[in-house]
Amino acid sequence: MDFGTFLVQCLNSVQYGLLLFLVASGLTLIFGIMGVINLAHGSFYMIGAYMAFSLAPLFGDQFLLMLVAGVVLAAVFGYLLEWAFFSYLYQRDHLQQVLMTYGLILVFEELRSILVGNDVHGVKVPAWLDGSFALGSVMSYPWYRLFASAACIVLAVGLYWVVNRTRLGMMIRAGASNRDMVRGLGIDVKRLYRIVFAAGVALAALAGMIAAPMSSVYPNMGASVLIICFVLVVIGGIGSITGALVASLLVGFVDTFGKVFFADLSGIGIYLLMAIVLIWKPEGLMGRRP
């Protein structure tokens, strides 16, 4: 492998890992902090991709404005979804959580089939991000992939700042540690969890919207992403945003270079990584010991 190809694969690994982080960070908030096993989280990624497909003709080349509109719609949808369904799951056992969230997957897939059909769709890259730049004398790299990586980095920094440097983040962390104590201090835990859930849905949908121009928009596209995201949460440590970021980058490199060097075995690479991490640190890279 020459240096140009190696550099392109490194950029692809970082871009893929950062995109996974957007989805996994939402799952970390919902699963790690709120304690709900949400099998429907991959469906939020799919909804985001289909929102990009549906909103693109309305916004034209105003791609950033479309992303903002999609995030707002996804956050409102998540807020209402938590109020209607997930708010009843916090005191239920994991089996009931699994059954209800799996039922939501079936509902979302059926609604998707009714509204947009079962065809595979594409989303056009905005004109101002079309094209590529040179990497050496032979290789080039698309501007849109660089934009996707930069957007994910900005969002990762923003999420870290909110969780670790703001009053809302302090309440989120406190609610994850001891919700009864937080409730005793006069904080509306139900409203707090509703906000957290809406943020998790918005992050997953945003990841789907960013990914849509780079890949096809197709039925059941959230299933594979959901499995990888649970792997990321386990590798990084349940409830750790930083752990989710580190795990996402590791998985991005393992998966991308695994497909280059070990194409026949690339499917087991991330699971082998998870096994190694859990043998070394059973609580995950950034997880706390029980």
Whether 150 shows a pLDDT value over 70: the answer reads yes
DSSP code for 133: E
Given pLDDT bands bounded at 50, 70 and 90, which one contains residue 137? low
Q: Is the pLDDT of residue 148 over 70?
A: yes
Q: Report, as an integer, the average pLDDT of 122-148.
A: 85
Q: Indicate whether 1 pLDDT > 70.
A: no
Separation of alpha carbons 223 and 43, rounded Å: 7
Across the strands, what pairs with 289?
none
Show me where the domains of the chain are located: 30-127+141-218, 220-289
Higher-pLDDT residue of 182, 122 = 122
Q: Judge whether residue 100 has pLDDT over 60.
A: yes
Mean pLDDT within 141-150: 91
User: What would the two tokens of residue 259 be?
Assistant: 């497909």
| DSSP line for 43-76 | HHHHHHHHHHHHHHHHHTT-HHHHHHHHHHHHHH
Taking only the tens place, the pLDDT of each residue in 48-85 is 999 999 999 999 889 999 999 999 999 999 999 999 99
Q: What angle do CA 226, 230, 231 make, to 5 degrees?
A: 115
CB distance 205 to 26 below 8 Å: no
Q: What is the pLDDT of residues 168-185, one digit of tens each?
A: 888 887 777 777 787 887
Predicted confidence (pLDDT) per residue in 106-115, tens digit: 999 999 999 9
Q: How far apart are CA 160 and CA 54, in angstroms?
A: 31
Q: How many CA atoms lie within 13 A of 171 on its CB side?
A: 18
Q: How far is CA 166 from the centre of its chain?
A: 22
Q: Which two tokens stand for residue 235?
A: 């590798």
Assign 9 a pLDDT band (cuts: 50, 70, 90).
confident
Q: In a 3-state reduction of DSSP, which class is residue 220?
A: coil
